[in-house]
Chains A and B, each alone.
Chain A
Amino acid sequence: MSELGTISFGLFIILAAVGGAAVLTWFERRLLGIWQDRYGPNRLGPFGILQVAADMLKLLTKDDWVPPFADRMVFIFAPTAIVVAMLLGFAVVPFGPDLYVLDINIGLLFFLGMTSLAVYSVLLAGLASNNKYALLGGLRSAAQMVSYEVFMGLSLMGVVMLTGSFSMRAIVEAQRDMWYCIPQILGLFTFMIAGIAESHRLPFDLPEAEHELTAGFHTEYSGMKFAMFMLGEYLGLILICCMITTLFFGGWLGPWLPPVVWFCLKVFALICFFVLLRAAIPRPRYDQLMSLGWKFMLPLTLLNLLLTGAIALALRG
């Protein structure tokens, strides 16, 4: 692609991702509603889709308020960080054989780096708010992220081993014969868990945990700055689903339909699954989450790594 093409496609992806996240806020509520024997937002526009516009208007017109006791600079910076980091993560996602912003040979590492940056957002928001609930939320997120970052990266190494590359396109191409969700089933499982933890959604929404910490790290946030956190969370969800699709479900690969349609369908199915997960599972306590991470998920990831390495070696040898 030409430079101009890349830039305009990049802009398009940004718009599409933000738009997707906005629609997702409505879609999730409708889906949860259906699963919970109720309607969800169904008043504005067809199927209530204009709810998105109404929410946006409401959030945009709210008073842009920074509490006087907060650390002003950091308080404003925190919600921006999560959105920027998540949007940058989309750069390496291959939506089709030729539909991507960036194809770098360390694509996977870039993605991991960007999602890790998003942690700072939560942490800084918790610290800058100067609120006890926010502090506890920030504290929890630090602990949670440290333990889940560790095996998030490791859980993908099996995929890298099988492909022999960090490039996203190469990973997709390598799945022509068999999607990695079969040989890397353990990797898929661990990455999925880490992914939910990364986007801190129920059951891993401990930094927020509205039943315990009112709203956790974003207790003091309102208006557009609050919306940024929500946007970041939904962007994170889409990004994680894009990644799972790319790494484990053959990305754009699929018969008959155009590649990009396959990609979108897979991502959509995964999003529905994540929403269902949110509807079904209670929230563990955070020490339980820690021990799950360190005592179960990490060994499982290492085991997967060992097995994959041994088999790959045996096949090649």
Chain B
Amino acid sequence: MLCAQVTSVNGTVDDLFVRFGADLFDLQSTADHTPTLWVDRGNLLEVLTHLKPRFPMLLDLFGIDERLRQHKPAAAADFTVVYHLFNLADREEIRIKVAVSDADSNVPTAVGVWANANWYERETWDMFGVQFSGHPNLRRILLPPTWEGHALRKEHPARATEMEPFSLSEEQQEQEQEALLFKPEEWGMARATEDTEFMFLNLGPNHPSVHGVFRIVLQLDGEVVVDAVPDIGYHHRGAEKMGERQTWHSYIPYTDRIDYLGGVMNNLAYVMTVEQMAGIVVPDRAKVIRIMLAELFRISSHLVFYGTFAQDVGQMSPVFYMFADRERLFGIIEAITGGRMHPAWFRIGGVAQDLPRGWERMVREFIDAMPARLDHYQIMAMDNSILKRRTVDIGSYTTAEALEWGITGASLRATGMDFDLRRDRPYGGYDQFEFEVPLGHKGDSYDRAVVRVEEIRQSLRIVRQCLDNMPEGAYKSDHHLTTPPPKERTLQDIETLIHHFLNVSWGPVIPPGEGSFPIEATKGINNYHLVSDGGTTSYRTRIRTPSFPALQQLPLISRGFMIPDLIAIIASIDFVMADVDR
């Protein structure tokens, strides 16, 4: 991280110290140099409220079970609740941590400070059993309501073999089904007003337009959506829990499956965090290869978005053209990585292999052909007057609302907020590239699509620059924590031999500490907060995904619209359920 930012953030910390007194805080040093302050829970709300004007976005809120951690920070107790705040305008981050004990795990809710704390706190309660007093509806969010225990606690089993064999009796099945029934009263909804009886429509989890297994219960007056309650968790696979038993290296394939349209983009967020903690410097060639692959996957993801967006407003054909293009893209990705949607191709310290012979021709053919095709799609889909009528001014929100709800990426830029991590806090070599950050101005469904379509063109531009300026050199760092470590010199000096042996047999041991590395993924800011306890596995893997807050905001932007509008809104926010539920 750049020095200038550290000083400016220290300004914020100094300000806090002046305002509240330095004794109140406990400063923790982290691998990413993001100021991390421990606060007593009694002062938490005051501190957060004080920080709110400076940090309009609550990037992430999550828990850590500290009970088995050996390199515990001094201030930690049984559980820690972490508030990760982001000031996009000044690219400034800060973490606030609160320690609670198992016996008395009660933290005041931050819903009043940031609206999007709601779901994050539910998740933290769901996973750790940490109570948030004053929370409007503290119930399970990712796990089913009938679940027993809190899954991310260290004592909760991580594997099916650690549990009793699964069985489901008739009676239990009845109970499970009963638990899935929607009861409006639980959400403070009326079944009827004086002159209207509302219809409650259960949309999903199996519905053609919810992009996976997403359930949203609609309170309808005719076809007008009065209110909506999203229900997520049907795609939850315990990705964070798995991180605690996979080695640092063998977790990479799991990251592919978080945003399954983003492919190696997920690898990037993860390996960059690990590299930061291990102090690995990635060689230039690896950086450019990574950027090229990441941008190809951005194009791929946006093409899926583009096609399904048109499809969800009832246009039948575009999706086939875009999937055909995506297929061509997969041809390239397959030639380079051997995989298609989930290549798991980035490695700690570089990438898995060098680029194959002839990659230039394939990539060049693709990027030469795409602009003309995009022009064609523009006429076919985006300029279509019915499509415009279906999406312009539908589901719009302002920049302030987007920040309040944690919306990032293209959905944020559609409101006119000029922010892109690749340009504004370049990582992994993006500072060497020329590209523009497309912006919308209304923040409606149409603008969200416009921004993404333009991003495809910008990504093509970046890929062309990668193609024209691919540096020579190693595709992997020679740092000993690189996976797999370089083998050439193993038989010449004992040091390398030992490192190689340990690294290949156990996997790398990442030095104790914690850190995160936000990146501009396909759908917004993706961030892995990793905690190492000096072992071969991560002690805590926290995945902040851009899709999660987008769904939380959905009811807010769909109230008063009709069902077809809701579908258009869902189509325009570009989420993937695997990315929401992890």
A residues near B (Cβ < 8 Å) are: 32, 35-38, 132-133, 136, 139-140, 202-203, 205, 209-214, 278-288
Q: Let me know if B562 and A285 touch, CB within 8 A.
A: yes
Instruction: Choose among A32, A37, A140, A278 the residue with the greatest number of B CB atoms under 10 Å from its CB.
Output: A37
Question: Is there contact, CB below 8 Å, between A136 and B317?
Answer: no
**For A136, A205, A212, which residue has the most chain B Cβ atoms within 10 angstroms?**
A212
Contact: B386 with A281, CB < 8 Å?
yes
Of A213, A281, A287, which one neighbours B315 at CB under 8 angstroms?
A281
**Chain B residues with Cβ under 8 A from A288's Cβ?**
389-390
B310 on interface, CB distance cutoff 8 Å: yes
A236 to B64, CA, bound (A): 63
Q: Is B536 in the interface zone, CB < 8 Å from A?
A: no
B367, CB-defined interface residue at 8 Å: no
Q: Does B208 contact A (CB under 8 A)?
A: yes
Q: CA of A288 to CA of B389 in the docked complex: distance in angstroms?
A: 9
Most buried by A among B222, B315, B387, B389: B315
The 8 A CB mask of B308-338 against A (1 = contact, 0 = none) is 0011111111001100100000000000000
A212-B315 CB under 8 A given contacts A36-B320, A132-B201, A136-B223: no
Give residues 3-36 of B contacting A (CB, 8 Å): none
Partner of A211, one of B202, B311, B386: B311
- One of B268-276, B447-455, B462-470, B563-571 at the interface: B563-571
A96, B9: Cα distance in complex, Å: 86
Complex Cα distance, B199 from A151, in Å, reads 32
A133 to B321, CA, bound (A): 30
B209: contacting residue among A37, A211, A282, CB under 8 A: A211
Residues of B within 8 A of A36 (CB): 316-317, 320-321
Instruction: Tell me, in angstroms, the Cα distance from A298 to B321 when the chains sit together.
Output: 36
A37 to B387, Cβ gap below 8 A?
no
Tell me if B207 is interfacial: C-beta within 8 Å of chain A.
yes
A211 touches B199 (CB 8 A): no
Give 26 A-B contacts (CB < 8 Å), ordered by A residue: A35-B317, A36-B317, A37-B320, A37-B324, A132-B201, A139-B222, A139-B223, A203-B314, A211-B311, A211-B312, A212-B564, A213-B563, A279-B316, A279-B317, A280-B317, A281-B315, A282-B310, A282-B384, A283-B390, A283-B564, A284-B390, A285-B389, A285-B562, A286-B562, A288-B389, A288-B390
| Bound-complex Cα distance A280 to B390 (A) | 15
Which B residues are in CB contact (< 8 Å) with A283?
313-315, 386, 390, 564
Contact A214 B207 (CB under 8 A): yes
A213 proximity list for chain B (CB < 8 A): 563
With both beta carbons as reference points, the residue of chain B lying nearest to A35 in the complex is identified as B317
Q: Tell me which of A35, A282, A287 has the highest count of chain B C-beta atoms within 10 A of its own C-beta.
A: A282
Distance between Cα atoms of A288 and B394 in the complex (Å): 14
CA–CA, A211 and B210, complex, Å? 9
Q: How far, in whole Å, are A244 and B70 apart by their CA atoms in the complex?
A: 81
Contact flag A287-B208 (CB < 8 Å), given A211-B567, A279-B316: no
Given A209-B314, A278-B316: A286 and B564 within 8 A (CB)? yes
User: Could you tell me the distance between the alpha carbons of A35 and B316 in the complex, rounded to whole angstroms?
Assistant: 11
Interface pairs A-B: 7 shortest CB-CB = A283-B314, A282-B315, A36-B320, A282-B314, A211-B209, A285-B564, A282-B386
Cα separation A281 to B311 with both chains bound (whole Å): 10
Q: How far is the CA of A214 from the CA of B222 in the complex (A)?
A: 17
For A211, what are the chain B residues with a Cβ–Cβ distance below 8 Å? 208-209, 311-314, 567
Number of A-B contacts (CB under 8 A): 83
CB–CB B562/A214 < 8 A: no
B208 in complex: contacting residue of A139, A203, A210, CB < 8 Å: A210
Q: Is the CB of B199 within 8 A of A203?
A: no
Q: Report the bound CA distance from A211 to B563 in whole Å.
A: 10
Q: Tell whether, in the assembled complex, residue A284 and residue B389 are in contact, meaning their CB atoms are under 8 Å apart.
A: yes
- Convert B189-221 into 0s and 1s, putting 1 for each residue whose CB lies closer than 8 angstroms to a CB of A: 000000000010110000111000000000000
CB distance from B224 to the nearest CB of A (A): 10
Convert B364-394 into 0s and 1s, putting 1 for each residue whose CB lies closer than 8 angstroms to a CB of A: 0000000000000000100010110110000
Which of A38, A140, A211 has most chain B Cβ within 10 Å?
Answer: A211
A76–B389 CA distance with the chains assembled, in angstroms: 38
By a CB distance below 8 angstroms, the chain A residues around B567 are: 211-212
Q: List 9 additional A-B contacts (Cβ < 8 Å) besides A136-B563, A282-B384.
A: A37-B321, A133-B201, A212-B209, A213-B563, A282-B314, A282-B387, A285-B390, A285-B564, A286-B223
Given contacts A37-B324, A212-B209, A282-B310, contact A203 B386 (CB under 8 A): yes
Interface centre among A132, A205, A210, A283 (most CB of B within 10 A): A283
Most A C-beta atoms less than 10 A away, residue of B312, B313, B317, B321: B317
Closest to A37 in B: B324
Q: How far is the CA of A288 from the CA of B568 in the complex (A)?
A: 15
- Tell me the nearest residue of chain B to A278, going by C-beta: B316
Q: Which of B235-281 contact A (CB under 8 A)?
A: none
Give the chain A neighbours of B386 by CB distance below 8 A. Answer: 203, 281-284
Residue of A nearest to B381 (CB): A282
Q: Which residues of A contact B316 (CB under 8 A)?
A: 32, 36, 202, 278-279
Chain B residues with Cβ below 8 Å from A214 are 207-208
* B221 smallest CB distance to A (angstroms): 12
Measured between beta carbons, the chain B residues less than 8 angstroms from A286 are 223, 562, 564
Query: In the complex, what distance in Å separates the CA atom of A278 from the CA atom of B312?
Result: 14
Which residues of B are found within 8 Å of A37, using beta-carbon distances?
320-321, 324
Min Cβ gap A262→B in Å is 31
Distance (whole angstroms) from the CB of A225 to the closest CB of chain B: 21
* Complexed CA–CA distance, A36 and B387 (Å): 19
> Closest CB-CB distance, B165 to chain A, in whole Å?
33
Closest chain-A Cβ to B116's Cβ sits at a distance in Å of 28
| A282 contacts B313, C-beta separation under 8 Å | yes
Q: Nearest chain-B residue to A205 (Cβ)?
A: B314
Q: Which B residue sits closest to A285, measured CB to CB?
A: B564
> With a CB–CB cut-off of 8 A, which chain B residues contact A284?
314, 386, 389-390
Residues of the B chain whose Cβ atoms lie less than 8 Å from the Cβ of A281 = 314-315, 384, 386
Q: CB-CB < 8 A to B222: which residues of A?
A: 139
B566, closest chain A residue (CB): A212
Contacts of B312 in A (CB 8 A): 211
Shortest beta-carbon distance from A186 to chain B in Å? 20
Residues of B close to A133: CB separation below 8 A: 201
Quick one: which of A38, A209, A285 contacts B320, CB cutoff 8 A?
A38
Decide if B565 touches A285 in the complex (CB within 8 Å): yes
Give, as a whole number of angstroms, the nearest-CB distance from B206 to chain A: 9
Q: Quick check: B201 and A209 within 8 Å, CB to CB?
A: no
A282–B390 touching, CB < 8 Å:
yes
Complex CA–CA separation, A286 to B201 (angstroms):
18
Interface contact A209-B564, CB-CB below 8 Å? yes
A135 CB, nearest partner CB in chain B, Å:
8
Contacts of B562 in A (CB 8 A): 285-287
Instruction: Give bound CA distance, A287 to B390, whole Å.
Output: 11
- Name the CB-closest residue of A to B389: A288
> Closest A-chain residue to B564, C-beta based?
A285
A146–B209 Cα distance when bound, in Å, is 28
Complex Cα distance, B242 from A96, in Å, reads 73
For A287, list chain B residues within 8 Å (CB): 562
A278: shortest Cβ distance to chain B, in Å? 6
Alpha-carbon separation in the docked complex, A132 to B217 (Å): 12
Chain A residue, CB-CB nearest to B209:
A211
Provide the bound-state CA to CA distance between A288 and B390, in Å: 9
B209 partner residues in chain A, CB cutoff 8 A: 211-212
**In the complex, A280 Cα to B377 Cα: how many Å?**
12
Q: How far is the CB of A133 from chain B (nearest CB, A)?
A: 8
A287 to B207, CA, bound (A): 23
The minimal Cβ–Cβ distance linking A116 to chain B, given in whole angstroms, is 24
A203 to B564, CA, bound (A): 13
- The complex places the Cα of A280 from the Cα of B209 at a distance, in Å, of 19
Task: List, in ascending order, chain B residues with CB within 8 A of A212's CB.
Answer: 209, 563-564, 567
A132 and B199 contact, CB distance less than 8 A: yes
A-contact 0/1 string along B525-562, CB 8 Å cutoff: 00000000000000000000000000000000000001
